[in-house]
Chains A and B, each alone.
Chain A
Amino acid sequence: LQEKHRILHKLLQNGNS
């Protein structure tokens, strides 16, 4: 699922605010 949703995955990874 992470592979198919790379942008969403990246947004979630960017700074665990």
Chain B
Amino acid sequence: SGLESPTCSGMEIELLAQDVLRSHRETSQPRAEELQQRRWDTFSREEVCAYQRKPMQEMWERCAGRLTEAIQHVVEFAKRLRGFMELCQNDQIVLLKAGAMEVVLVRMCRAFNPDNRTVLFEGKYAGTELFRSLGCHELVGSIFDFAQSLCALRLSESEVAFLCAIVLINANRPWLQEQAKVARLRGRLEVAFRLLLRRTHREGLLARLPPAGRLRALCSQHVEQLQAFRRLHPGALPAAFPPLYRELFA
């Protein structure tokens, strides 16, 4: 087929593909069928107002909490990914530190309803207005725009799984110690992804994916907004934010 790289067999690629899908399935909550059933279960007007009345600090704590839960699932996804645990510990940490938030943003498209521009948050679907008290309308709007653009691609669960793996296994992250090893794993993932797309007649998808810079920009925007929040609420962060969130972003 011309797809196989000279260093890995078709069987290896097949196993890698199965592994990516299994890792994704085992670490993605809620399941796709459940998300589909609940996609019209939106917050009532009163519930939205109650969220809007919450103090900025409480809303930041809530969002940091939900984001941290999602990141913990991404860590589990990485651990189950064939080859990830064979990388040195420095590189495992580098890849997760740089990529976990990006993977969360990609995964978010699963829990996003593009028809009414809402996302699953604390049990129901919420529009941008629910997050008003965070004080970062532009960031929230950009994240929703990103989810909307991914939803327009009508990604299958398998495609989301591969996209997440490819976002995570990025040999261009600074401070990697074994860059070549990461690049080899990334290469095998790309071969497996292309094979899936060829089988499903979706080769055109690669050209329509958002550029990597868009995810990077969203992550930088998040850190900038966090810094702005900390300037407004000095001392808030150590007290109530999840330790993993502080470790990754503060």
Partner-B contacts on A (CB < 8 A): 1-2, 4-9, 11-12, 16-17
Contact = CB atoms under 8 A, between A and B. Distances in A.
Given A2-B89, A2-B93, A17-B76, A8 B175 contact: no
Contact of A9 (B79, B93, B248): B93
A8 B247 CA distance: 8
A16 B79 contact: yes
Given A5-B247, A9-B93, 19 more contacts: A1-B90, A1-B93, A1-B94, A1-B175, A2-B93, A5-B97, A6-B247, A7-B244, A7-B247, A8-B97, A8-B248, A11-B72, A11-B75, A12-B93, A12-B96, A16-B79, A16-B85, A17-B79, A17-B80
* Chain B facing A: main interface SS: helix
Contacts of B93: 1-2, 5, 8-9, 12
A12 B92 contact: yes
Contacts of B76: 17
B237 to A, nearest CB: 15
A13 to B, nearest CB: 9
Contacts of A12: 75, 79, 85, 89, 92-93, 96
A15 to B, nearest CB: 8
Contacts of A9: 89, 93
B30 interface: no
A17 B26 CA distance: 11
Nearest to B91: A1
